[in-house]
Structures are given as structure tokens and as C-alpha cells.
Amino acid sequence: MADAARVDVAILGGGLAGLTLALQLRQADPGLSVTVLERRSHPAPEAAFKVGESTVEIGAHYFAETLGLREHLDAAQIRKFGFRFFFSDGRRDIDRCTEIGVSQLLPTPSWQIDRGRFENMLGERAGALGVDFRDGAMVRTVALGEGDGDHRITWTTGSDTHSLHARWVVDASGRAAILKRQLGLAEANGHDANAAWWRVDGIIDPNDWSDDPEWRARCTPPDRWRSTNHMCGPGYWFWLIPLASGAHSLGIVCDAGMHPLDGMDTHAKAMDWLRRHQPRVADSLDAAGNALMDFRFLRHFSHGCRQVFGERWALTGEAGLFLDPFYSPGSDFIAIANSYITDLVVRDRAGDAFMQHAKLYEQLYFSFYANTMTLYQDQYPLFGDEQVMPVKVIWDYTFYWALLAPVFFAGRIADIPMYARLRPLFERCSALNAALQPLLREWGERNGPAATAGPGRQLDQYLIDWFRELNRSLCDQLDDAAFDARIAANIERMGELAAEILAQARRSHPGIGDHGLQALLAPSPAGETLLAPAWYGAA
């Protein structure tokens, strides 16, 4: 074994989290020496079999603007036509089901990411920026340094053994979770869900599921296929995500208690499950004969972690935390973790004390994780409720766009004085959501499993003016005073929406509890409601 070299940062894993971190570090400080150790050989297959193709606003902004990859995204990936939800359990008449989605693109972009194509580009970009990218490298040991001492990493390529010293080591190894396992940091989070997913050759177009020209033309352009399409039912959702390489990603995600994994852990079983729960999708796959490219399943995919930032070590991506693919938060949490890690490394390189910041960033990161987890935990039984779930979708988006997304877009994710200044607003936002989620859950429980909202509805988010403006305003550049005022206005809007939802829930079920929500609400102002009656299943 040759004498060990020394680098500033060693990154274990050269997938999405590791390569984007390498780029961010080199862009923040071109003098940093960065080595990435990736066990797979590069280039990867263009349509690499990795979950996490759909981006939402934070992750998309991170890729496009923070890392400067907008040109690649526009030219080589698919501009996403937002999320789309169909309440279609057991039905073939998709054009008569309740559908939530935008009729036109919202102002702030996101993309469907073909992961193999994207990560190959990231590897090339990293190399061009001077990152030492070692593929085919199997990490064998990580000896964390004591005090101010370097860490030591050994790895093999074939029969050869190599080592290096690093001031910082970052685990971006995904579910291999090298450091997490070594340090015993794994933590259950109480969200028991499973997934099975596969890819087929060829694009699946929901517009082919209907002969109704009016239904087809409700989107401009009529490109429902570019959405992340969610086919929803009690205890589950099924995704359809198009990939730029010409394949389509399909996946079942379900509550483990309601839909056991042994009913979908092979492609044949998954197709039988689809024929029962989403027969129109199954029909289209059977008729088209799309070639199966691969298949995978994962049990108990959501997981927590007791610590993510330590003494010159860190975890990012799935090596640390993973929530749930509903609403596609994976790349968001990569963006946030990588931004915190970059800040810590740059502080350390400048000779500044950084551990106090590491502790604060970890507290913030865990709080973002805990608040986001409330959107999923114990909520899967709601997913087939076409009265409550449309309301939940609007609330969940509003929660995301009101606080966390504008903080990231404004480059303030590590702005400690801002958090101190706006702490009451953050606490109010969290409290509103913490009360609203169990209210929605009880509403669904009281509705019962057979509840429907009547004839299928076309619920167009684009037509909600304040909602569309909330999305557009993410890109506004504001000074401190204007930013603070914007956040205050966003939280006020959340309070108004929460009051309206509580009132609607009580109209449906007069005895429903308020789950502590009433104490958080100011008297509702007179005027128009924020959502039209159709969003609540009313005529």
C-alpha cells in the first residue's frame, strides 16, 4: 500500500449527494482539495436505476442556481409539469376521477432528473473543477481522527489497497451508511412504509387513457405525462415519472400495515397489485408491452439518525436521514445538508471555530426533518380520501412554500441571526402544521373508507391566485426587512387557511376536535375564502 496522500475533504460516495457536495465545496473555495470515492464504475448507465428522479423547488433551485446547472437541466432533462394527483383506486375512467394539478406551468421551475445522465454530468463537472473522483473504489475502513488529527480512509480498487488522510470526511454512501453504521447512529422514526419500483422502456402518457378531447385539453400544453403523476388510494400512492432517456419510472409506495410488501415484491406481483388498484395504468402497460428494464423493492425505507454533523465529519443524503418520496423531498434535504457542510468546512479552513455552528445547523436540520415528517406519518390512510386529501395537498404545499423554501432560495439557510430574529414566526408555523395534520387525519377517519366527494373534479392549483404567487415569489431578492415582512405575511396566510380548513371540517363533522388549532388562530377576516368550495368537495 502506497503512502497516504492528504486532502481537505474526503467524500464517501459519488452519487447525487456526494458529487453535488464536491461541486459546492470547490465553488465555495477553489483551493480546497476534495476526493470522492465511488464504488460503482463511471460512466453510469444513462438511465441508472436510482429512485429520486422528481425534484421540487428547493432541490431544483440548488441544482440550477446554487450549483449553476440550469443549462444542463433545460437541455438534457425534462421540465416538470408539477405534481398531479388522481383519486382512482380500482377505476379505469381516469378522466372522471378527481384530479389535482396545474393547467399551466407554475413560475418557479423543477425538473424530472434522469439520474444516470445527471450523475455522469456531475462527475465530469467535478473533474473539470479539480475534484479527484475515484470510481470503482470500495471503502474498507474509516478511522476518525482524535482532537485535531486527520481522519484516515482505506479503500480498494480491484486487488489494490489505497489510503488517504483527510481533515474532513463526509459520508454520502446512501443506504450503505458507512459512518452511520460505524458510529451506531441509526434511529427508527415510526414511519413504517414500503416501496416497490421499476422502469419500463417508453413514455407513458395519461392523455392516452381518455378519448375526451375536453379532458385532454385542460392542460396547456396537454402534457400530463411530464408531471410526477400520483395515482392515489387508501394507504398507498403509485408514481409515474418520465425520464429524458426515454424510459418511465413507476413505483408503489404504501403503508406497511395496509398493503403488505409480500404482495408486490416481484414484478409479477406488483402488476397483479396494479391490476386490482390501478387497472387503467395496468391496462396501458399490458397493451403497450413496454420492456421491463429493472425492478426493486425496499422495506421500511424511512429512517432517522441521531447525529449528522460531528468533529470534522458529516452525513448527507440517505446516509443520514430519509423521509418519504411523496412530495419528493430527497434532493431538498441533500441541498440543505450540503449547504451546511460547505459552510462548516469553509469556516474551518479559515481558522474559525465551527462546532457551535455544527450544533446549531444540526438542530435546524432535525427540526426541518421533524416538521416535514408530520406530512407523512400516520397520514397514508388519508391518501384515498378525495374530500380531505385535496385540502391536505394545498396545505402541505403552502407550509413548504411559506417558510423553508423562501429561506433556502434567499440563501439564508445558514443565517443564524435570521433564525433568532424570526423565531416566533418559525414556532407559529410549526405549531399550525402540528395541529392541522391530526385535524386532517381525524376528518378522514370520520369520513370512513367509502367516502367520496361526488363526481370527479378538476382541481386546478394554477387558478388559485395567492397560491400561484406564493410559488412565484420564491425567486424574489429581498433585503432583511422585506424578507422578514414576507415571512410574516406567509405565516399570516397559513393562519387564515388553517381557520378556513377547521371551519370546513366542522361543517362536515360538527363534533370534530380542533387539536389545539383554535388557540393559534386569530379571528378570520371577512372576505373571500382562500379555496373555492369545490376544493372541499362542495358544490
User: Mean pLDDT of all residues in the chain?
Assistant: 95
Is there a single domain that holds both residue 538 and residue 426? yes
CATH number, residue 352:
3.50.50.60
Report pLDDT for 452: 66
H-type alpha helices, 184-305 = 213-216, 267-277, 279-288
CATH number, residue 213:
3.30.9.100
Can you give the pTM of this predicted structure? 0.97
- 342-351 pLDDT, tens digit per residue, is 999 999 999 9
Is there a single domain that holds both residue 289 and residue 328? no
> What integer is the mean pLDDT of 296-324?
96
Is there a single domain that holds both residue 330 and residue 472? no
pLDDT at 235 over 70: yes
Is there a single domain that holds both residue 29 and residue 125? yes
Residue 209 lies in a domain: yes
What band does 47 get if pLDDT is binned at 50, 70 and 90? low
Q: Which residue has the higher pLDDT, 69 or 52?
A: 69
Query: Which CA distances in Å does 468 have to 75, 108, 337, 407?
Result: 25, 9, 28, 18
| Domain final residue, candidates 384, 414, 447 | 384
Is there a single domain that holds both residue 361 and residue 485? no
> What integer is the mean pLDDT of 400-424?
98
Report pLDDT for 46: 67
Report pLDDT for 384: 95
Is there a single domain that holds both residue 345 and residue 419? no
Distance, C-alpha 365 to centroid of its chain? 14
Residues above pLDDT 70, as percent of the chain: 96
How is 252-279 classified by DSSP, letter by letter? EEEETTTS-GGGSSSHHHHHHHHHHH-H
| Domain final residue, candidates 298, 317, 344 | 298
How many residues make up the chain in this entry? Answer: 539
- 358-375 pLDDT, tens digit per residue, is 999 999 999 999 999 999
How many other C-beta atoms can be found within 10 angstroms of the C-beta atom of residue 222? 16
Is there a single domain that holds both residue 327 and residue 445? no
Is there a single domain that holds both residue 317 and residue 446? no
Is there a single domain that holds both residue 281 and residue 357? no
The residues, any chain, with a CB within 8 Å of residue 349's CB and separated by 6 or more, are 8, 29, 31, 32
Residue 93 lies in a domain: yes
Residue 356 lies in a domain: yes
Q: Cβ(96)–Cβ(134) under 8 Å? A: no
pLDDT at 316 over 70: yes
| Domain final residue, candidates 298, 331, 365 | 298
Residue 67 lies in a domain: no
Report pLDDT for 289: 84
Report pLDDT for 290: 86
Residue 176: DSSP 8-state: G
Q: Of 180-184, 288-292, 341-345, 480-484, which gets the smallest average pLDDT?
A: 288-292
> What integer is the mean pLDDT of 159-178?
96
What band does 524 get if pLDDT is binned at 50, 70 and 90? low
pLDDT at 45 over 90: no
Report pLDDT for 44: 80
Report pLDDT for 522: 78
Residue 72 lies in a domain: no
Q: How many domains does the chain have?
A: 3
What band does 526 get if pLDDT is binned at 50, 70 and 90? low
Its domain, for residue 220, covers: 78-112+192-298
Alpha carbon distance 505, 40 (integer Å):
51
Max CA-CA distance within the chain? 75
What band does 399 get if pLDDT is binned at 50, 70 and 90? very high
H/E segment holding residue 201: strand 193-201
Residue 66 lies in a domain: no
pLDDT at 508 over 80: yes
Report pLDDT for 456: 79
H/E segment holding residue 139: strand 138-143
User: Per residue in 58-86, is it b (16+ CB within 10 Å) or e — as a string?
Assistant: bbbbbbbebbebeebbeebbbebbbbbbb
Is there a single domain that holds both residue 288 and residue 366? no
What band does 442 get if pLDDT is binned at 50, 70 and 90? very high
User: Per residue in 405-419, is it b (16+ CB within 10 Å) or e — as a string?
Assistant: bbbbbbebbbeeebb
pLDDT at 451 over 80: no
Alpha carbon distance 387, 453 (integer Å):
5
Is there a single domain that holds both residue 200 and residue 334? no
What band does 454 get if pLDDT is binned at 50, 70 and 90? low
Is there a single domain that holds both residue 348 and residue 412? no
Strands 83-87, 160-171: pairing kind: unpaired
What band does 533 get if pLDDT is binned at 50, 70 and 90? very high
Residue 376: DSSP 8-state: T
Residue 296 DSSP SS3 = strand
pLDDT at 5 over 80: yes
Q: Of 47-51, 343-347, 514-518, which gets the smallest average pLDDT?
A: 47-51
Q: Cβ(297)–Cβ(265) under 8 Å? A: yes
The residues, any chain, with a CB within 8 Å of residue 287's CB and separated by 6 or more, are none
Residue 349 lies in a domain: yes
Phi–psi pair at 293, nearest 5 degrees:
-100, -30
> What integer is the mean pLDDT of 71-93?
97
Report pLDDT for 315: 98
The residues, any chain, with a CB within 8 Å of residue 182's CB and separated by 6 or more, are 142
CA atoms within 13 A on the CB side of 323: 24
Residue 45 lies in a domain: yes
